[in-house]
């Protein structure tokens, strides 16, 4: 474990500052007293028998929404309220034994301008009121709310809890924020909103996500966070590219390796948990919503504007105790470049059952996308597959690999059958306009959480996720992805099953000191299958260029211990360790030990609250992962005598969070991380491919190699202001991702002190919204600037020149094709007007600056300025 001296000093400095702040801090209690005065006389409500029913409830750090649902279940009442009147994500304490419903409501609703009204014999409606509901009795035991400190999150803990005690930087993007932006792609939803995270704009023709930076680089072309949907790990994180924003409750993101101690291998860059909506309706009646939107996208490569469509429907049923939801979304875009099109279908559903002590949830997700992907019009006219007039050496009759030493074919052993195969396969994507890509994904699973008593809470999560991918190889190399049609005809699929169980114990009294102990175990199995041509497949016996199927079965078993301690709600310490056995780690050792250590301190100054935090973590990514196998689709492994090492990243972050009242929040984070073993597809000169009286074909092969070590250092700034109808947020990130050391067998184009390719050094975002009466408007700006990538146009133009030796396009020769990209800016906006009750008219604008090229290279083409209008109808 290697840590630079600077992070170590920062970590111990954070501990010293935290200890000082904890001594000086004023006492704040989770379940202590709150001295707010009585605001309203609720005698009429409390006289009703239903308000005097005794209930017993236990739970610390639960959300207000969960507390209200469990109260309704324990009291056997129907509880109705409007979400706009309550901060349902606020953390509250439940420590009640045979306490009247009225007292529990008074505690939970302190500060909320609602009043309970009893309707009939078993229904309580929380109606808007001018003042807050309270009782003329003892003070309410509720945690004082300070801005967003007490928001309940499920990422970073086994069963969910308050964000107050977390020592890591965790960002939460709410469903309301996603709806305001109106972006269906993951890149459009997160870029400029989550600092330190940047996804290149999702082309309608691309089936996989491209992460430009997650606090720098953790791999080449396949950097990604570990993605979960409702706590269920997806089989391929890069295939989560689009969202139905109407179905999302929030997205929680941890950046950096600190989350690996809980989530295990493959969380080297961070963790993303997509939480779907599982809320009921007011009164429990069925509610349907229809959305339809149509518009046009401009394109410099089409004779006219291109039609875009997006239609969705959803159905909700039930109350907070029993609810269900179904949804369907269909989207399509036409030929923004000649012969191109893309269509996608998303289906999703969820169910939730709540009792006084338990919560059961279930979820499913289906996603399908098909895309016709012709060549880039920027490369029109280039002929990259015409054979060279120079004949190759004479063939032999042995076309296989079995007789070659170490399973590798000898030079000159490729005869006429191979040449015939290459004649039909080696046509590059630039001259092939009939390629069609497709992806199918599914997720199904559930979670059960049971509160045994005021100390122990247990949870179990079980789920299955899988995909089938055709012709979507992504090589982060010098040439465009899928430069050879053999890759374009490859397919891959994987299925992952996960079972995770945890027990959380809470000890001590939170008025002074408390501790939380988490014990968990997780087991997952995955089956990967790749069907490709032997030209790009790992060495094995049999005909080298016949179509082959490669199946890998991997498993991962981990045990987790995590402890959190707090003193007077002012000083918090977090520590965790995960020990796992992962069959994908390689031949050296399949055991990984992933630690995490964090500390945070909180102090209040009047209406302002300051939080200091620091955390260290280590993550590992196996050589064999579904995300890598699914997107490289059988790319050949390292050269003879070399083995691939797993990718690792460790580092520290130090941050300051300021909360001023309930309206203004500011966050600053400094991170210092070191990654080793990064795997890069390196272009290499292939073995000669020739046949009797037939010409030799020019091509470039790729080989997976470990690069060495790199450093990722930088700053993240974030601020948000929520002032009545106005809401404004801004982010700024600066990252320096550089090569520190090269591996001994690395033969690529990187050198020590080089900047990592395709990583923007600066990203910035500005988002705002305004609501007034029946209308609202929102806008967003996101910009990435200053990155290095290949000049692919120049590179391919030279490669098409038959007078150039193919050896000029491998290794250090490629450095002459490096190009500095200034940046790209995305501007979007949305306007909505409530025509009548349940009917809203919307107008959306995307890519208003009409930037169609330059992201992340000069070959990729994106749709231009897109304007659309639609209706949303609820009934």
pLDDT at 396: 38
Pair 118, 48: CB distance under 8 Å: yes
Mean pLDDT value across residues 462-471: 91
DSSP per-residue letters across 616-684: EEEEEE-SS-HHHHHHH-S---PPTT--PPPEEEEEEEEEEEEEETTTEEEEEEEEEEEEES-EEEEEE
Query: Residue-wise over 283-320: b if at least 16 C-beta within 10 A, else e?
Result: ebeebebebebebbbbbebbeebbebbbebbbebbbbb
**pLDDT of 540-573, one tens digit each?**
444 444 556 778 899 999 999 999 998 888 899 9
Q: What pLDDT does 383 receive?
A: 61
What per-residue confidence (pLDDT) applies to 823? 95
Q: What is the pLDDT of residue 161?
A: 63
Res 539: pLDDT: 42
Q: Calculate the alpha carbon distances from 548 to 173, 542, 874 in Å.
A: 43, 9, 51
More confident residue, 399 or 829: 829
Q: Which two tokens stand for residue 521?
A: 């175990």
SS3 for 720-761, per residue? Answer: EEEECCEEEEEEEEEEEEEEEEECCCCCCCCCCCCECCCCCC
Q: What is the mean pLDDT of residues 26-48?
A: 40
Angle at 238 between CA 234 and CA 242, to 5 degrees: 85
CATH number of the 282-387+437-874 domain: 2.40.170.20
Q: Give the pLDDT of residue 523.
A: 96
Q: Other CB atoms closer than 10 Å to residue 848's CB: what's the count?
A: 17
The single residue listed with the structure tokens 């995955």 is 526
Q: Which of 63-72, 220-229, 305-314, 582-591 has the highest mean pLDDT?
A: 305-314
Name the DSSP class of 231. Answer: T
Question: Could you tell me which residue, 214 or 119, shows the higher pLDDT?
Answer: 214
Q: What is the structure's pLDDT at 757?
A: 93
- Which range among 182-196, 377-391, 439-453 shows the weakest confidence by mean pLDDT? 377-391
687-717 pLDDT tens trace = 554 444 444 555 667 788 899 999 999 999 9
Q: At what angle do helices 101-108 and 64-75 cross, to 10 degrees?
A: 170
Res. 53 pLDDT band, cuts 50 70 90? confident
Segment among 51-60, 413-422, 525-534 with least mean pLDDT: 413-422
Looking at residues 181-191, what average pLDDT do you find?
88
Q: Kindly state the average pLDDT of the residues 753-757.
A: 95
CATH architecture label of 148-276: Beta Complex (2.170)
DSSP 151: B
- Domain residue extents for the chain: 30-128, 148-276, 282-387+437-874
Start-to-end Cα distance in the chain = 58
Between 181 and 484, residue with greater pLDDT: 181
What percent of the chain lies above the pLDDT cut of 90?
A: 44
pLDDT score at 497: 97
> What is the average pLDDT across 15-30?
40
Q: What is the mean pLDDT of the chain?
A: 80
Contact 10, 84 (CB under 8 A): no
pLDDT grade, residue 631 (50/70/90)? low
Q: Return the top range by mean pLDDT from 14-18, 106-110, 433-437, 849-853.
A: 849-853
Residue 43 reports pLDDT greater than 70: no
Q: What residues pair up with 96 in beta bridges, in sequence order?
A: 57
Q: To which H or E segment does residue 488 belong?
A: helix 485-488
Residue 314 Cα to chain centre, angstroms? 24
Q: How far apart are CA 710 and CA 217, in angstroms?
A: 8
Compute the residue count for the chain: 875
Q: Do 30-128 and 282-387+437-874 agree at the fold level?
A: no
Question: pLDDT tens-digit profile of 767-825?
Answer: 999 999 899 999 999 999 999 999 988 988 888 787 888 788 888 999 999 999 999 99
pLDDT tens-digit series, residues 329-367: 999 999 999 989 999 999 999 999 998 889 999 999 999
- Does 599 or 57 have the greater pLDDT score? 599
Fold held by 30-128: Phage tail protein beta-alpha-beta fold (3.55.50)
Rounded to 5°, the CA angle 136-138-140 comes to 100
């Amino acid at each position: 474990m290697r840590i630079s001296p600077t992070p170590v000093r920062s970590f111990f400095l954070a501990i010293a500052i935290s200890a000082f702040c904890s001594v000086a801090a004023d006492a704040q209690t989770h379940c202590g007293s709150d001295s707010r005065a009585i605001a309203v006389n609720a005698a009429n409500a409390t006289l009703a028998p239903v308000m005097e029913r005794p209930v017993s409830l236990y739970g610390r750090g639960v959300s207000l929404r969960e507390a209200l649902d469990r109260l309704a279940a324990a009291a056997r009442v129907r509880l109705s309220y409007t979400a706009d009147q309550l901060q349902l994500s606020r953390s509250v304490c439940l420590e009640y034994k045979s306490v009247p419903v009225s007292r529990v409501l008074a505690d939970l609703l302190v500060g909320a301008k609602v009043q309970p009204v009893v309707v009939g014999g078993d229904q309580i409606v929380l109606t808007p009121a001018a003042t807050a509901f309270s009782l003329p009795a003892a003070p309410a035991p509720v945690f004082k709310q300070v801005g967003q400190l007490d928001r309940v999150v499920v990422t970073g803990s086994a069963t969910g809890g308050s964000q107050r005690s977390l020592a890591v930087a965790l960002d939460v993007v709410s469903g309301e924020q996603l709806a305001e932006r109106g972006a269906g792609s993951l890149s459009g939803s997160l870029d400029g909103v989550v600092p330190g995270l940047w996804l290149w704009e999702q082309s309608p023709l691309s089936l996989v996500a491209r992460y430009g930076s997650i606090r720098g680089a953790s791999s080449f072309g396949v950097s990604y966070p570990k993605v979960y949907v409702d706590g269920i790990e997806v089989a391929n994180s890069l295939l989560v590219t689009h969202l139905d924003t109407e179905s999302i409750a929030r997205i929680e993101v941890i950046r950096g390796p600190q989350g690996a101690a809980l989530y295990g291998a493959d969380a080297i860059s961070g963790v993303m948990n997509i939480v779907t909506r599982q809320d009921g309706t007011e009164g429990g009646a069925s509610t349907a919503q229809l959305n339809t939107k149509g518009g046009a996208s401009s394109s410099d490569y089409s004779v006219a504007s291109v039609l875009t469509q997006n239609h969705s429907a959803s159905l909700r049923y039930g109350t907070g105790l029993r609810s269900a939801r179904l949804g369907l979304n269909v989207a399509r875009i036409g030929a923004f470049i000649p012969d191109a099109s893309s269509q996608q279908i998303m289906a999703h559903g969820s169910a939730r059952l709540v009792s006084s002590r338990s919560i059961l949830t279930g979820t499913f997700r289906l996603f399908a996308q098909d895309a016709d992907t012709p060549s880039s019009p920027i490369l029109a006219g280039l002929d990259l597959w015409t054979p060279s007039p120079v004949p190759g050496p004479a063939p032999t009759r042995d076309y296989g690999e079995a007789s070659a030493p170490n399973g590798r074919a000898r030079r000159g052993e490729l005869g006429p059958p191979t040449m015939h195969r290459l004649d039909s396969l080696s046509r590059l994507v630039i001259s092939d306009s009939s390629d069609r890509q497709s992806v199918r994904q599914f997720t199904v699973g559930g979670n059960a959480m049971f509160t045994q008593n005021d100390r122990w809470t247990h949870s179990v999560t079980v789920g299955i996720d899988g995909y089938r991918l055709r012709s979507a190889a992504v090589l982060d190399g010098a040439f465009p992805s899928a430069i050879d049609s053999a890759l374009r005809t490859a397919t891959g699929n994987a299925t992952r099953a996960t079972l995770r169980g945890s027990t959380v114990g809470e000890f001590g009294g939170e008025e002074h000191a408390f501790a939380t102990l988490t014990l968990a175990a997780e087991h997952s199995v995955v089956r990967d299958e790749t069907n490709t041509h032997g030209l790009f497949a790992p060495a094995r016996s049999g005909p080298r260029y016949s179509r082959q199927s490669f199946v890998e079965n991997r498993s991962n078993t981990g045990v987790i211990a995590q402890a959190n301690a707090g003193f007077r709600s002012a000083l918090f310490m977090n520590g965790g360790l995960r020990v796992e056995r992962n069959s994908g780690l390689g031949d050296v050792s399949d055991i990984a030990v992933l630690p995490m250590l964090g500390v945070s301190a909180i102090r209040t100054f009047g209406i302002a609250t300051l939080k200091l935090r620091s955390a260290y973590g280590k993550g590992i990514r196996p050589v064999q992962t579904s995300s890598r196998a699914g997107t490289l689709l059988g790319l050949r492994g390292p050269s003879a005598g070399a083995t691939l090492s797993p990718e690792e990243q460790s580092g520290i972050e130090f941050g300051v969070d300021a909360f001023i009242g309930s309206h203004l929040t500011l966050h600053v984070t400094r991170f210092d991380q070191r990654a080793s073993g990064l795997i890069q597809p390196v272009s290499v000169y292939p073995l000669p491919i020739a046949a009797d009286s037939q010409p030799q074909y020019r091509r470039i092969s790729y080989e997976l190699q470990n690069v060495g070590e790199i450093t990722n250092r930088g700053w993240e700034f974030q601020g948000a202001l929520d002032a009545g109808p106005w809401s404004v947020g801004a982010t700024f990130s600066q990252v320096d991702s550089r090569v520190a050391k090269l591996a001994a067998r690395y033969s690529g184009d990187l050198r020590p002190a080089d900047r990592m390719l395709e990583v923007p050094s600066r990203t910035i975002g500005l988002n705002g919204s305004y609501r007034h009466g029946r209308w609202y408007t929102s806008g967003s700006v996101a910009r990435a600037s200053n990155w290095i990538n290949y000049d692919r146009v120049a590179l391919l133009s030279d490669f098409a020149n038959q007078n150039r030796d193919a050896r000029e396009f491998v290794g250090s020769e490629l450095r002459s094709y490096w190009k500095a990209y200034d940046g790209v800016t995305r501007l979007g906006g949305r306007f909505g007007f409530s025509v009548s009750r349940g009917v809203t008219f919307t107008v959306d604008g995307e890519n208003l600056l009409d930037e169609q090229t330059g992201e992340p290279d000069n070959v990729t083409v994106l749709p231009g300025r897109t304007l659309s209008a639609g209706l949303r109808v609820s009934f």
